[in-house]
A and B are shown apart, each in its own frame.
Chain A
Amino acid sequence: NAGVTQTPKFRILKIGQSMTLQCAQDMNHNYMYWYRQDPGMGLKLIYYSVGAGITDKGEVPNGYNVSRSTTEDFPLRLELAAPSQTSVYFCASSNPGQEGYTFGSGTRLTVV
């Protein structure tokens, strides 16, 4: 039981490049989330999903896209990377009726 797996762990992008951050969970959780963590700013919700085929915007969705074609996977897509997207990205999952998120170990992204 791996929990929530995020890849890659580190990535450096040039301005204008695109990439996909991968997130997979093996706990059969319905809900999945993407957060970004900036120094002194806590965790901000980017996008979330309550099940396969259903996604919705969080607090800071601009510049990102998501898809949820399966229960297990919830990739986050960055198009036209900007320096403001330099951050640590965390994926999390949970189930209705159960409290607490399970977080992945994060992806540290630098845009130069």
Chain B
Amino acid sequence: GENVEQHPSTLSVQEGDSAVIKCTYSDSASNYFPWYKQELGKGPQLIIDIRSNVGEKKDQRIAVTLNKTAKHFSLHITETQPEDSAVYFCALRGTSGTYKYIFGTGTRLKVLA
């Protein structure tokens, strides 16, 4: 079945540095890959997504890249700020047609001021 592995589980960076989180998946039919940010005490919030017909997508300081051949996708955050500190989840849409998502195990990002 569908599976997604997320690394690292924790990541500390200095303010202003870049952060990269990577997810690998097993089902080559997966075609939609969202990233969610979860702040303390809140539900996850969609921050960026990418479809399988696109290799890269950027939105200001965040970007997502997709390598379909290698079956991995990554979240890139540049010029990190303290408010970027949160737990980030990758996900992919299952291929069952009901818009069920499979989530990664999460990365706790800490941006050190």
Say if A and B assemble together. yes
Q: Which residue of B lies closest to A6 (CB)?
A: B43
Interface of A is mostly: strand
Determine whether the beta carbon of A100 is less than 8 Å from that of B49: yes
Pick from A4, A48, A99, A104: contact of B100, CB under 8 Å: A48
Q: Which residue of A lies closest to B98 (CB)?
A: A50
Q: Which residue of B lies closest to A39 (CB)?
A: B106
Pick from A31, A40, A96, A100: contact of B106, CB under 8 Å: A40
Name, among B89, B93, B100, B105, the residue most crowded by chain A CB atoms within 10 Å (CB to CB): B100
With contacts A42-B105, A99-B34, A101-B46 taken as known, whether A31 is within 8 angstroms of B89 at the C-beta atoms is no
Instruction: Produce 1/0 per residue, A98-111, CB < 8 A to B.
Output: 01110111100000
> How many B residues touch A, CB cutoff 8 Å?
22
With contacts A42-B104, A42-B106 taken as known, whether A106 is within 8 angstroms of B9 at the C-beta atoms is no
B78 within 8 Å of A (CB atoms): no
How far, in whole Å, are A50 and B100 apart by their CA atoms in the complex?
10
How far, in whole Å, are A31 and B96 apart by their CA atoms in the complex?
14
Q: Which residue of B lies closest to A50 (CB)?
A: B98
* Chain B residues at the A interface, C-beta cutoff of 8 Å: 6, 9, 32, 34, 36, 41-46, 49, 89, 93, 98-101, 103-106
